[in-house]
Amino acid sequence: MNNIPASIADFETYARQTMNPGAFGFYVGGADSEITLRRNLEAYNSLLLRPKVMVDVEKVSIATTILGEKITSPICVAPTAYHALAHHDGEKATARACAAVGTCFCQSTNSNYTMDQVASSVPKEALRWFQIYVQEEEDVTKRLIKDCEKAGFKALVVTLDRPRLGKRLHVLKSGFTLPKHLSRANFYEDQDNDGSDSYYHGEMYPGMTWKDIKFIKSITKLPIVVKGIFREEDAKLAAENDVDAIIVSNHGGRQLDSCPATIEVLPEIVAACKGTRVEVYVDGGIRTGTDVFKALAIGARAVFIGRPALWGLAYQGENGVKQVLDMLNYEFRLTMTLSGCANVQQIDKSYVAPVERYSFTRTLAKL
């Protein structure tokens, strides 16, 4: 790319032009007809902003906390597999960028560097969470959790929405598999861990139920975040099972197609968690500062970005991920300033409205 990236879309364009097409397809694609993948992005356009003026916005703070830990902005990095497809420093680079910006990096079970390698590449105080796919073999799950505690991860993010791998057309067409020189580094007990078949493995144990959350809670003191909750009934069960937080997610449209967008589901999950201590976050389709603002206005405490961090990594490794986070933080701060919010606590649902509010059929009838 000749030009300096001016939006997240520009980073994606660069990745599309420079990455191996199979690997890019693995990153960019969704499941089946990609209805959910598109909807995650488009649903943000159905929500409009209602800026307030005459508010002192000389100083604007975008800082917040998640599970009691300070972060410089509510924009965190979601767990995504195999960062070394984008840059040889892989997850180490992503973690370093998050540490430099002061936000949370969530490392995937399916990463190319081990938890230890990631931990030792960032300062001690850098906030890291670990995403776990609960494994069929209980011993492996236990070992992963032990490694995670030893390596100083501050929370366990348990992904619930991948009992089997979604049907991803990009990957089926390209025949993409992990290149021989890369491995699923956290599974060192694999005898033949060259990654050649790992695309089809590494999912969660499909027999998993809430009993397994109880089991995990019995073997670790780490806070538990459940990822992939998509209906209010499950949010209530999560609260009853004493989890600490929920990430509203449809896995970036890569699992069950024809789901609503995450931002469309967020209101019912926020309502279900009202009056509980459960924090609610959201991921999926967040590409601009206004998207972040809308998610917070509906009640998310923080957001997680998946693909944008990978585009940054493909662009310039650690520095590229930092540029992506800096850009989104800049845009989010600007949105707050122009909307009349000096801190994240001031952002509430009065700042957003569905497009229908402004339909001429409705507004002209009132004149």
Ligand X SMILES: Cc1cc2nc3c(=O)[nH]c(=O)nc-3n(C[C@H](O)[C@H](O)[C@H](O)COP(=O)(O)O)c2cc1C
Residue ranges binding ligand X (CB under 6 A): 27, 40, 78-81, 108-110, 131, 159, 227, 249, 251-252, 254, 283-286, 305-307
Per the listing, tokens 């949010």 go with 235
Cβ distance to ligand X smaller for residue 248 or 341: 248
CA distance 224 to 129: 10
SS3 315: helix
Per the listing, tokens 């209101």 go with 267
**Degrees, nearest 5: CA angle 342-52-326:** 45
- In the chain, % helix, strand, coil (3-state, to 5) comes to 45, 15, 40
State yes or no: is 88 an active-site residue: no
Cβ distance to ligand X smaller for residue 106 or 341: 106
SS3 130: strand
Rounded to a whole number of angstroms, the minimum distance from the CB of residue 70 to ligand X is 23
Cβ distance to ligand X smaller for residue 244 or 283: 283
What is the chain's alpha carbon radius of gyration, rounded to the nearest angstrom? Answer: 20
- Tell how strand 47-49 and strand 352-354 pair up: antiparallel
Cβ distance to ligand X smaller for residue 263 or 297: 263
Cβ distance to ligand X smaller for residue 64 or 288: 288
Other CB atoms within a 10 A radius of the CB of residue 27 amount to: 24
Please pick, among 83, 87, 170, 251, the residue that the annotation labels catalytic. 251
Cβ distance to ligand X smaller for residue 155 or 341: 155
Residue of this chain nearest to ligand X (CB atom): 306
Amino acid letter at 5?
P
Rounded to a whole number of angstroms, the minimum distance from the CB of residue 310 to ligand X is 6
Closest CA to 60 of 348, 334, 322: 334
State how far the alpha carbon of 308 is from the alpha carbons of 72, 160, 194, 224, in Å.
18, 22, 27, 25
Give 112's DSSP letter.
Answer: S
Rounded to a whole number of angstroms, the minimum distance from the CB of residue 366 to ligand X is 37
Rounded to whole angstroms, the maximal C-alpha distance in the chain is: 73
Cβ distance to ligand X smaller for residue 62 or 292: 292
Per the listing, tokens 């957001």 go with 303
CA distance 284 to 81: 15
Other CB atoms within a 10 A radius of the CB of residue 307 amount to: 22
Rounded to a whole number of angstroms, the minimum distance from the CB of residue 41 to ligand X is 7
Rounded to a whole number of angstroms, the minimum distance from the CB of residue 83 to ligand X is 9
Rounded to a whole number of angstroms, the minimum distance from the CB of residue 59 to ligand X is 30
Rounded to a whole number of angstroms, the minimum distance from the CB of residue 254 to ligand X is 6
- CB burial readout 55-94, b (16+ within 10 A) else e: eebeebebebebbeeebebbbbbbbbbbbbbbbebbbbbb
| Catalytic residue list | 251
